[in-house]
Amino acid sequence: MKILVTGGAGFIGTHLVERLLKENHKVISVDNFTLGKQENVDKFNNNSNFKFYNIDIDNTELFCETLKSEEIDYIYHLAANSDIQKGGKNPLVDYNDTFMTTFSVLELMRRKNIKNLFFSSTSAIYGDENGENVHEDLGALLPISYYGGAKFASENFISSYAFMNDLNVVTFRFPNVIGPNLTHGVIFDFVKKLKNNPNELEILGDGTQTKPYIYVLDLVDCIMQMTEKMKPGVVIYNVGVETATTVTEIADIVCEVLGYKNVKYNYTGGSGGWKGDVPKFQYDLTKIHNAGWRAKYTSNEAVRKTAELIED
């Protein structure tokens, strides 16, 4: 198959490209290195099945023109601003990198008659009023971050393009993804802060924020499994783990892995880490489990494995 991966130089994109190449697909990767890394492209450069374009996907005409003569069977759309905190400071970041990249992908599909799309959505579209057992059929969603709003707008555009252009779409709404080559997020921050000062650790919020953390290779397995079964219309799955980890537990695991004892935790207070953060939620995973996938690693196991890797 000829596959286009947007955001292919990013954290999840690189793991996905690696897996697709291993399965002998031809992969075109597109990224503009906002958050992606050149080394994530260089590692595939001597594979004749791999091709890379450095362009701004939110520039719809440039994107469509650049890919005009490429044959593409499937698109895995991962490009977005993945730094929710950064996006909170300037709404244009998520408008361009999270929403407009999706619009460009949909335009490419319409213009080139490409039928198959995988979309990486997020738990952030559910907002913070849905609490526990959040399931895919909830209505009246009210995202609270610009990022969540831009992903939800993307899902809505995907729905309309799917109907108007007879697309086959699989959308995953996943929570925090962690693992090898992580570039930001709470584990990453804790390791950085502790290496600076092993005696004290600043923790945003009151430490009780509780979220499920999924290991990136579990997620890639799930993407591969579910995109084999593309069918007409849009199928949405919550993809995650049944367990969750509090921020204080993350701090404990990171301190243990780094070998730091008696670290004084300084909580900044409040129930959330930052404005736009959803402090607590847990998914209903019945749909993805019934479809035949289940994560191998629990949330705490994923956190520990990731902390060990950052330590290296």
Ligand X SMILES: NC(=O)c1ccc[n+]([C@@H]2O[C@H](COP(=O)([O-])OP(=O)(O)OC[C@H]3O[C@@H](n4cnc5c(N)ncnc54)[C@H](O)[C@@H]3O)[C@@H](O)[C@H]2O)c1
Site string for ligand X, 180-219 (x = CB under 6 A): ---x------------------------------------
Exposure of 264 in the CB half-sphere (CA atoms within 13 A): 4
**Among 10, 87, 179, 205, contact with ligand X (rule: CB under 6 A):** 10
Cβ contact 212:283 at 8 Å: yes
Query: In the chain, which ranges are E strands?
Result: 2-6, 26-31, 50-54, 74-77, 116-122, 168-174, 176-178, 200-203, 210-211, 213-215, 233-238, 245-246, 264-267
Shortest Å distance, C-beta 10 to ligand X: 2
**Residue 9 touching ligand X (CB under 6 A):** yes
Which positions from 76 through 135 interact with ligand X, judged by CB under 6 A? 78-82, 96-97, 101, 120, 122
State the number of binding residues for ligand X (CB under 6 A): 29
Cβ contact 143:149 at 8 Å: yes
Which positions from 11 through 70 interact with ligand X, judged by CB under 6 A? 11-13, 31-36, 56-58
The two beta strands, 74-77 and 2-6, are parallel
DSSP, collapsed to helix, strand or coil, labels residue 190 as: helix
**Among 76, 103, 174, 237, contact with ligand X (rule: CB under 6 A):** 174
Spell out the residues 6+ positions from residue 215 whose beta carbon is closer than 8 angstroms to its own: 177, 178, 179, 295, 296, 297, 301, 302, 305, 306
Stretch that binds ligand X, among 5-13, 128-136, 156-164, 194-202 (CB under 6 A): 5-13
Shortest Å distance, C-beta 117 to ligand X: 13
Supply 206's token pair: 């009151």
Exposure of 15 in the CB half-sphere (CA atoms within 13 A): 19
Distance CA 100, CA 81 (A): 11
Q: With respect to ligand X, which residue has the nearer C-beta, 58 or 128?
A: 58
Shortest Å distance, C-beta 143 to ligand X: 13
CA distances from 248 to 201, 203, 299 (A): 11, 8, 14
Stretch that binds ligand X, among 67-75, 172-180, 228-236, 288-296 (CB under 6 A): 172-180
The residue with its CB nearest to ligand X is 10
Cβ contact 148:281 at 8 Å: no
Shortest Å distance, C-beta 227 to ligand X: 14
Shortest Å distance, C-beta 174 to ligand X: 5
Q: With respect to ligand X, which residue has the nearer C-beta, 122 or 300?
A: 122
**Among 3, 7, 118, 276, contact with ligand X (rule: CB under 6 A):** 7
DSSP state of 120: E
Residues binding ligand X (CB under 6 A): 7, 9-13, 31-36, 56-58, 78-82, 96-97, 101, 120, 122, 174, 176-177, 183
